[in-house]
Amino acid sequence: MYKLLSHNDLDGVGCGILAKLSFGEQVKVRYNSISGLNREVEWFLENEGKETFLFITDLSVSEENEKRLEEFFQAGGKVKLIDHHKTALRYNDYKWGHVVVEGEEGKLTSATSLLYEYLISHQLMEPSDATAEFVELVRQYDTWEWEKNENHHAQRLNALFFLLSIDQFEEKMISRLQTSDHFYFDEFETKILDMEENKIDRYIRRKRRELVQTEVGGLFAGVVYAESYHSELGNELGKENPHLDYIAILNIGGKRMGFRTIHDHIDVSDVATQFGGGGHAKASGCTLTEDAYKQFAIDTYHLEPLPEDAKRNRYNVKESTFGTMYKNRSDEIYLIYPLENGEWGIEKNKTITEQTHPSFEEAEKFLKRKYSVWLVNDDNFVRNLMEEVKKAK
């Protein structure tokens, strides 16, 4: 007999699907939240004998269970923990640990892709095109590589996962992978996925207007409250606000928070670790502890959301040689303009400020962080110029 304890997200359930394809009736699969896993491990160690081979995928156990698993293994128990989170690398010290963050040629791994390789190399599963394609979609979604590759099938697979119950998703995927030569979405799925995409777009547009910014531990965070679509939301808000180091997404009801960054120089698994969580460099999470609740929720509650930059300007555009105009909630007007030496200067309410910046982006980052400014629209920009002309006469 086999038992698989896995995460309850797409990558975790991908592992369950592979296990069921390999072992059929011989495997029991249980999906867990990050915090629910330890109870399951304890239950297994207390109630199931050494005849059952235990797989743990896409999740980490507590230190105590780490010790118990080692004792179980030393006493002849069969266990394998397969994971790709950086914060789990220490399990490689054990014979039963298999943690790989980056595969060959720097290709990021996922739990599903690692389990697939494991099952094939141990001749527990026959490789197939359809399964390999499914595994690759899960990997690209989980590592967010799909975005760079514009592989929207990966994003759609995750959307489908959330539209169905885990049981329905498992059943559909298992029968598809068993019976088709290639992975595909059927006509009905394609239709509901189109509808879902529109819904996500509207959700993100609404959430954009709720973003506040704050400084925590020397880094700038955008804070937003949301229960769903964390990855899509974190990615969109991050791209629209490159002056922020990361986006913190709070789920108060679930007492959880997630961190997302688009920047290579920021590692949000470090941020999550500070609050007792973990994860990847670009995506991580933790329990919403009282300390995190205070810093991200209470201390930011009084803040006004960050207005968005004007979108369809023709005149007041970024990096303009005539200068680019910004404003903040105290009605202060800022202008970023190029200097002769190639640097960029800032005028505050028509007065030149001393500090200069090596690039336009740096100047804008400075203003957005320090003064919470936004790019004014053309109407505002032109009105301002006309007032200047009047004054000059």
Backbone φ, ψ for residue 284 (5° rounding): -150, 180
Tell me the closest approach of the beta carbon of residue 266 to Mn ion, in angstroms: 20
Backbone dihedral angles phi then psi of residue 143, each to the nearest 5 degrees: -95, 0
CB 216, min distance to Mn ion, A? 26
Does 83 interact with Mn ion (rule: CB under 5 A)?
A: no
Site for Mn ion in 322-381 (CB under 5 A): none
Nearer to Mn ion, 72 or 141 (CB): 141
Q: CB 36 → Mn ion: shortest distance, Å?
A: 16
**CB nearer to Mn ion: pick between 81 and 111:** 111
d(CA 373, CA 308): 9
- Is the separation of the CB atoms in 85 and 100 below 8 Å? no
Q: Tell me how many residues contact Mn ion (CB under 5 A).
A: 4
Rounded to a whole number of angstroms, the minimum distance from the CB of residue 6 to Mn ion is 9
Site for Mn ion in 49-78 (CB under 5 A): 58
CB of 243 or CB of 282, closer to Mn ion: 282
Q: Does 111 bind Mn ion (CB under 5 A)?
A: yes
Q: What whole-number distance in Å separates Cα of residue 65 and Cα of residue 86?
A: 19
Candidates 10, 11, 23, 34; binder of Mn ion (CB under 5 A) is 11
Point out the residue whose Cβ comes nearest to Mn ion.
11
Please list the residues that pair with 2 across neighbouring strands: 27, 53
Distance between alpha carbon 175 and the CA centroid of its chain, in Å? 29
Per CB under 5 A, contacts with Mn ion among 178-237 are none
CB of 138 to Mn ion, least distance (A): 8
170 belongs to the binding site for Mn ion (CB under 5 A): no
3-state class of 253 per DSSP?
coil
> Which residue(s) pair with 28 in the sheet?
3
Q: Tell me how far apart the alpha carbons of residues 125 and 21 are, in angstroms, rounded to a whole number.
A: 8
Q: CA separation (Å) from 317 to 328, 365, 368, 378?
A: 17, 16, 16, 9
- Cβ burial, residue 240 (10 Å; 0-12/13-18/19+): middle
One DSSP character per residue, 53-73 reads EEEEES----HHHHHHHHHHH
Closer Cβ to Mn ion, 58 or 170, answer by number: 58
| Angle CA 269–45–86, to nearest 5 | 15
Piece of 106-114, 179-187, 268-276, 346-354 that binds Mn ion (CB under 5 A) = 106-114
CB 59 → Mn ion: shortest distance, Å? 9
Q: Near Mn ion by CB under 5 A, which window of 93-101, 138-146, 211-219, 305-313?
A: 138-146
User: CB of residue 354 vs Mn ion: minimum separation in angstroms?
Assistant: 48
Binding site for Mn ion (CB under 5 A): 11, 58, 111, 142
